[in-house]
Amino acid sequence: MSYETDSQIENLMTPELARNPQPTYKALVEGADVMRLDGVGVLACSRAAVDEVLRHPEVFSSNTEAADLKTRRPLIPLQIDPPDQRKYRKILDPLFAPKRMQALTGSIERIVNERIDGFIDADEIDFTAQFSIPYPSQVFLDLFGLPMDELPRFLAMKDGIIRPNHVVGKEIGHPDTDAHQQATADSIYEYFEGLLDERASVRTDDLLSEFLDAEVDGDRLTRDEILDICFLFLIAGLDTVSASLDCFFGYLAEHPDERRKIVADPDTIPSVVEELLRWETPVMGAVRVAMCDAEVAGTEVHAGEQVMVLLGAANVDERELADADVVRWDRDVNRHLAFGGGVHRCLGSHLARVELRVALTEWHRRIPDYRVKPGVLLDFTPGIRALDHFPMVLREST
């Protein structure tokens, strides 16, 4: 391993890497399947090593304290391991099945077009503020049968948990930041407790009512379990879709030839979504903790150690995909890990796919030409590759 690559590893979650991660991913995969990072734990880089960790939850648990979100209990189903995890997936998977999510296409198209209506005549927009951030939250509100004027509250709750340092203006770990994050977490529980009280007496045609009524083989969700699911849905389902949109449109804005192919042939969009999920991998990695002494690709892992699976590196491993360093819209098979893998594969992946497909379809139907504002360098956050600002030019100024 070269010194240059060692330096890249030390700066693994930096804005510089988040902006252009693929070269570092490639260097990591070519260097070793697994790497030990002093004081951090073990980094699984190759597709084989990442698969090995994700497919053995009995050894590598997802119930970690890597992200302290001030929650009351582990989040369901993400932080629950088998066998208990199987009960939740058995109940929840049918509610998020592909056909059910595809049936939401019409309402999601309406949301996308209403957002575009708000800036279609502008020469320049902030893509994040005007599209990628509010859009997934509006889909969430629609799913839960909530009024759209709740959007500011949802955005504040999401940011207060995921980016409290941005809200407070002080670093992670500062007492003021911790206090704000805790207050936000408490407010999320309080909000959904109030909704559950309403739905307990009057059911409506929404996802929360389905959580209350869902039953499989005699198993039902308790009130606390529904609260934990809603908490996860709020923080995971919204931010990751926003990040995916930032990554997708950032790539397409900087690759006009590839964008024109989509405009000319919108039928390719499902494949485009899968390829950009693979290439961009908006969620760079995930953390597991070893429950016992074990090995990953021949590297010893000690009980209690953290194991980071670098999903982005696994997605450009040429042992899995021969031309992994090429972006192609015509792949017949695309076994990427952008949604994770194994039993903890993202519950909302089918909903996310519909949201992304609809966004790309409707946007390029109405706005075929756009670019990053000249002189702007897109500055992605590490970990989840999102943008705080995305100045986008929709047309030449007159």
pLDDT digits (tens, 9 = 90+) for 260-296: 999 999 999 999 999 999 999 999 999 999 999 999 9
How far is Cα 124 from Cα 58, in angstroms, rounded to an integer? Answer: 50
* Closest to 71 (Cα-Cα) out of 239, 236, 286: 236
Residues in the chain predicted with pLDDT less than 50, given as ranges, are 1-11, 66, 397-398
Q: Is residue 359 part of a domain?
A: yes
pLDDT in tens, 76-92: 888 888 888 989 999 99
Indicate the pTM of the whole model: 0.92
pLDDT on residue 1: 27
pLDDT on residue 396: 59
Q: Is residue 398 part of a domain?
A: no
Please state the domain count of the chain.
1
CATH number at residue 260: 1.10.630.10
Do 385 and 280 form a contact (C-beta atoms < 8 A)? Answer: yes
Do 159 and 69 form a contact (C-beta atoms < 8 A)? Answer: no
- Spell 62-93 as b/e; 16+ CB within 10 A means b: beeeeeebbbeebbbbbbbbeeebebbbebbe
**Count of residues for the chain?**
398
Do 29 and 3 form a contact (C-beta atoms < 8 A)? Answer: no
Q: Is residue 68 part of a domain?
A: yes
- Domain range holding 77? 3-393
How far is Cα 227 from Cα 271, in angstroms, rounded to an integer? Answer: 35
Q: Is residue 235 part of a domain?
A: yes
pLDDT on residue 394: 96
Q: Is residue 114 part of a domain?
A: yes
| Pairing state between β 41-44 and 306-309 | parallel
* Closest to 348 (Cα-Cα) out of 245, 268, 340, 74: 340
Q: Which stretches within the chain are classed as H helix?
A: 3-10, 15-19, 22-31, 47-54, 84-92, 98-102, 105-117, 127, 134-143, 151-162, 164-168, 175-201, 207-213, 223-254, 256-264, 269-280, 311-314, 349-366
Residue with structure tokens 């296409």? 105
Sign of CA dihedral 85, 275, 237, 90: negative
Do 143 and 206 form a contact (C-beta atoms < 8 A)? Answer: yes
What are the φ/ψ torsions at residue 219 (nearest 5 degrees)?
A: -90, 135
* Closest to 323 (Cα-Cα) out of 278, 376, 369, 368: 278
Do 225 and 343 form a contact (C-beta atoms < 8 A)? Answer: no
* Closest to 110 (Cα-Cα) out of 135, 144, 147: 135
Q: Is residue 353 part of a domain?
A: yes
| Pairing state between β 34-37 and 215-216 | unpaired
Instruction: Give me the residues paired with residue 43 across strands.
Output: 35, 308
Q: Is residue 248 part of a domain?
A: yes
pLDDT on residue 22: 95
Q: Is residue 301 part of a domain?
A: yes
